[in-house]
Chain A
């Protein structure tokens, strides 16, 4: 059977039996995932390198983690693409418009996880929300959680750290987004929006109808995989390679001295270092995993990750077009405080 007929048959099947195809794909994925560990060990054993040497340890890390992370990423991004197809920005806005604060902050932060939008849409989205009468603090809850708790970060954390840390990150990210948005709402900073934003005509929020069938959602999932995995895989490879070098050569307990629990100043330092670093979760998480293995404290590491993802300098520059400096400063201060709290609490509790 040629590749062309195969692809045509798959397309036919996706139209006629989407459920069956989904099950089949899940089964294939699971079998592949199960084969990873034996395959990577066999591969390292076949190489002319001692397994317990620096190079051997680095190679095993790279050969096992790369396919594992890519497999998990593909699965999570596909599922999120299907979930995303329920939550267009228009529907999200309609869900949030006209609500008070409090519960709406919780909703906004949760919707931030499942609503798709790329970072260059942050400003039009912001204006769209404000125009429809979504309160400022609720809008911020959405804008903080959307980049921080995204599918790439969750997939990587799941793959490299396990589900406990992934859930922890999800919970803490939501907590920071809800808390920071609520505080910004309380501060009544509406006057700190740029004048032209406040003068934009109000528009009623309408949801638009949703008539996608399962096959359509699967197509949306695949589209998501093509766009996101296609964009981030080089960062992941680079991140895992750097992580592998740290894993193989940095001495045990080296990081404990500078990023360990006992160094209280490491948390604020990690947040400060994180802000100008503009990278995405894809590159930073594999490096962070290697640091953790060398004795860095979990709270410090989580704080670093959050500040890299949530407080990037380029994003501030984009937001400056719609926010006056005082509101940007408040936003940074409130979010940074939340991240610091997360770092300190974790280092204290664990």
Chain B
């Protein structure tokens, strides 16, 4: 799974990255996790509120730290 976290580096973005890493580890999922910090790239995804999360090219979340259950849902299917 190719996961990108969109955000300019604020606390919420760091928390989002940490949460995804932790859940992925708990579930034993192999992921590549990238940070996207350049504004031009962030708005290129059409995201207006950061942090945003993109999985395999699709925006699955935007605007705040996602809930743990939501993150777990990404690794379920």
Contacts and interface: CB of A to CB of B under 8 A. Distances in A.
Of the candidates B10, B13, B40, B43, the one having the most CB atoms from chain A within 10 angstroms of its own CB is B43
Contacts of A90: 48
B40 A116 contact: no
Contacts of A67: none
User: B-side binding surface: helix, strand, loop or mixed?
Assistant: loop
A48 interface: no
Given A116-B63, A118-B49, A120-B50, A322 B12 contact: no
A124 B37 CA distance: 11
Interface in A112-152: 116-121, 123-125, 127-129, 131
Given A118-B49, A227-B65, A124 B13 contact: no
A322 B39 contact: yes
Contacts, number: 58
A321 B7 CA distance: 15
Contacts of B50: 118, 120-121, 124
Nearest to A88: B63
A89 B63 contact: yes
A42 interface: no
Interface residues of B, number: 19
A155 B7 CA distance: 29
B47 A120 contact: no
B12 A124 contact: no
Contact of B43 (A89, A118, A124, A223): A124
A121 B63 contact: yes
B8 interface: yes
Interface in B7-53: 7-10, 12-13, 39-40, 42-43, 46-50
A89 B49 contact: yes
A200 interface: yes
Contacts of A200: 43
A128 B12 contact: no
Nearest to B50: A121
Given A89-B48, A120-B12, A128 B43 contact: yes
A93 interface: yes
A223 B12 CA distance: 14
B6 to A, nearest CB: 8
Contacts of A322: 39
A130 to B, nearest CB: 10
B64 A124 contact: no
B58 to A, nearest CB: 15
A124 B49 contact: yes
A48 to B, nearest CB: 42
B43 A121 contact: no
B57 to A, nearest CB: 17
Nearest to B6: A124
Interface of A: 88-90, 93, 116-121, 123-125, 127-129, 131, 196, 200, 203, 223, 227, 318, 321-322
27 contacts: A88-B63, A89-B49, A93-B48, A116-B63, A117-B63, A118-B12, A118-B50, A118-B64, A121-B49, A121-B50, A121-B63, A123-B8, A123-B39, A124-B39, A124-B49, A124-B50, A125-B49, A127-B39, A127-B48, A128-B46, A128-B48, A131-B43, A200-B43, A203-B46, A223-B64, A318-B8, A322-B39
Interface of B: 7-10, 12-13, 39-40, 42-43, 46-50, 63-65, 67
Given A88-B63, A120-B12, A223-B67, 11 more contacts: A93-B48, A118-B10, A118-B12, A120-B13, A121-B63, A124-B47, A124-B49, A127-B39, A200-B43, A227-B64, A321-B39
Q: Which 6 A-B pairs have the closest CB atoms?
A: A120-B10, A128-B48, A89-B48, A121-B49, A127-B43, A117-B49
